[in-house]
C-alpha cells in the first residue's frame, strides 16, 4: 500500500514537473530523495514514509520551478486521493512550508526530524558541482547576469528582499550557497557539505583568477 503511494507520487511529480526549470525538475527531486533516504539511514531516525513523500513533493508550487500553482493545495488533494492519513498529510505540508532557505528568515520554530533531513538533502543539492550547475541554469532562466563587478553582494533580511533579487549568479554564492555548510541540521549532512563547500570555493577562486588575468594582460 505505502509502496504504491510512493510509486504513484513519483509518477505524479514527474508529470507535474515535466517542464520545470532544469535545476528544479524531476532530477532535482530524484537527487534530493536519494540524499534524504541516505541521511535517514545514517542517522537512524525519522519516519521513512514521510521523508520520502516530502522529498518527492517538496518543490510542487515553488515559483522557482517556473510552474504556477498552490503547492499545498495540490499536494493535499493528491495525498487525500492516495488515502494517506490526515496526520501524515499535515506532516508533509509542514515540511513543504518550512523547507526553503527563504523561510529561514522568519522562522525560529523547532524542526521535526523529517523536516531537518529533507531540508539537509535539498540544501546539499544546492552545493558542490551540481549546485554550481543549478545556480547558473537558474540565473539564466531568470535572465540574471553571470557576474557584474559593479553589483555588490547584499545581505537579505527578509523573505521579500531575497525573493525579488535579480543579482548576478556569482553573488548568489556569497548571498546563499556558501552559507549552507553551517546551516546543516544533521551530522551526516554536515560531513557531506564540507567537500561540496570547498569545491564551490575553488570554483570561485578560479573564476576570479581568470577574470583578473584578462585585466592584467590588457594592462601589459
Does residue 122 touch Ni ion according to CB under 5 A? yes
Please choose which of ligand ADP, Ni ion, none residue 134 contacts, taking the beta carbon within 5 to 8 angstroms, the exact cut-off set by kind: ligand ADP
Count of positions on this chain that bind Ni ion (CB under 5 A): 2
Count CA within 13 A, CB hemisphere, residue 174.
Answer: 12
Question: Does 120 participate in binding Ni ion (rule CB under 5 A)?
Answer: no
**Which of the listed partners (ligand ADP, Ni ion, none) does 138 bind, with a CB threshold of 5 to 8 Å by partner kind?**
ligand ADP
The CA–CA distances, whole Å, from 8 to 3, 28, 102, 180, 183 equal: 9, 18, 29, 32, 32
Q: Which residues bind ligand ADP (CB under 6 A)?
A: 23-24, 59, 62, 64, 100-101, 122, 126, 131, 134-135, 138-139, 144, 165, 167, 169, 172
Applying CB under 5 A, does 21 fall inside the site for Ni ion? no
Helix axes 71-81, 48-57, angle to 10 degrees: 130
Our CB check for Ni ion shows the closer of 20 and 89 to be: 20
Neighbours of 49 (CB within 10 A): 17
For the bound state, the minimum distance from the C-beta of residue 82 to Ni ion, rounded and expressed in Å, comes to: 21
Which one of 7-15, 39-47, 55-63, 128-136 is the stretch in contact with Ni ion (CB under 5 A)?
55-63
Pick 71 or 168: Cβ nearer Ni ion:
71
C-alpha to C-alpha distance for 68 and 178, rounded to whole angstroms: 29
- Tell me the residue nearest to ligand ADP as measured from the CB: 126
Pick out residues in 178-207 that bind Ni ion (CB under 5 A): none
Q: Which helix (H) or strand (E) holds 125?
A: none
Instruction: Report in angstroms the alpha-carbon separations of 108 from 35, 111, 114, 122.
Output: 25, 9, 16, 19
- Whole-number Å distance between alpha carbons of 168 and 142: 10
Question: Of 103-111, 121-129, 132-140, 160-168, which part binds Ni ion (CB under 5 A)?
Answer: 121-129
CA separation for the pair 47, 40 (Å, rounded) = 8
Contacting range for Ni ion; rule: CB under 5 A; set: 86-94, 106-114, 120-128, 183-191:
120-128
Q: Tell the smallest beta-carbon distance from residue 170 to Ni ion (Å).
A: 21
State which of positions 58-77 bind Ni ion (CB under 5 A).
Answer: 59
Torsion of CA 133, 138, 141, 143, to 10 degrees: -110
**Residues forming the site for Ni ion (CB under 5 A):** 59, 122
Amino acid at each position: 500500500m505505502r509502496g504504491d503511494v510512493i510509486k504513484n507520487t513519483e509518477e505524479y511529480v514527474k508529470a507535474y514537473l515535466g517542464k520545470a526549470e532544469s535545476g528544479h525538475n524531476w532530477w532535482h527531486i530524484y537527487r534530493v530523495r536519494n540524499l534524504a533516504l541516505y541521511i535517514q539511514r545514517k542517522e537512524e531516525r525519522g519516519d521513512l514514509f514521510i521523508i520520502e513523500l516530502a522529498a518527492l513533493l517538496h518543490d510542487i508550487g515553488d515559483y522557482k520551478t517556473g510552474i504556477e500553482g498552490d503547492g499545498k493545495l495540490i499536494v493535499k488533494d493528491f495525498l487525500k486521493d492516495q488515502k494517506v492519513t490526515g496526520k501524515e498529510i499535515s506532516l508533509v505540508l509542514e515540511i513543504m512550508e518550512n523547507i526553503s532557505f527563504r523561510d529561514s528568515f522568519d522562522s525560529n520554530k523547532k524542526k521535526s526530524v523529517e523536516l531537518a533531513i529533507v531540508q539537509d538533502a535539498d540544501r546539499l543539492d544546492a552545493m558542490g558541482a551540481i549546485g554550481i550547475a543549478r545556480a547558473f541554469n537558474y540565473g539564466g532562466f531568470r535572465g540574471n547576469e553571470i557576474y557584474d563587478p559593479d553589483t555588490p553582494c547584499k545581505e537579505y533580511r527578509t523573505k521579500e528582499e531575497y525573493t525579488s533579487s535579480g543579482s548576478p549568479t556569482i553573488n548568489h554564492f556569497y548571498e546563499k550557497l556558501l552559507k549552507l555548510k553551517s546551516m546543516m541540521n544533521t551530522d551526516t549532512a554536515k560531513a557531506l557539505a564540507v567537500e561540496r563547500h570547498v569545491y564551490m570555493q575553488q570554483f570561485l577562486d578560479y573564476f576570479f583568477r581568470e577574470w583578473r588575468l584578462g585585466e592584467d594582460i590588457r594592462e601589459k
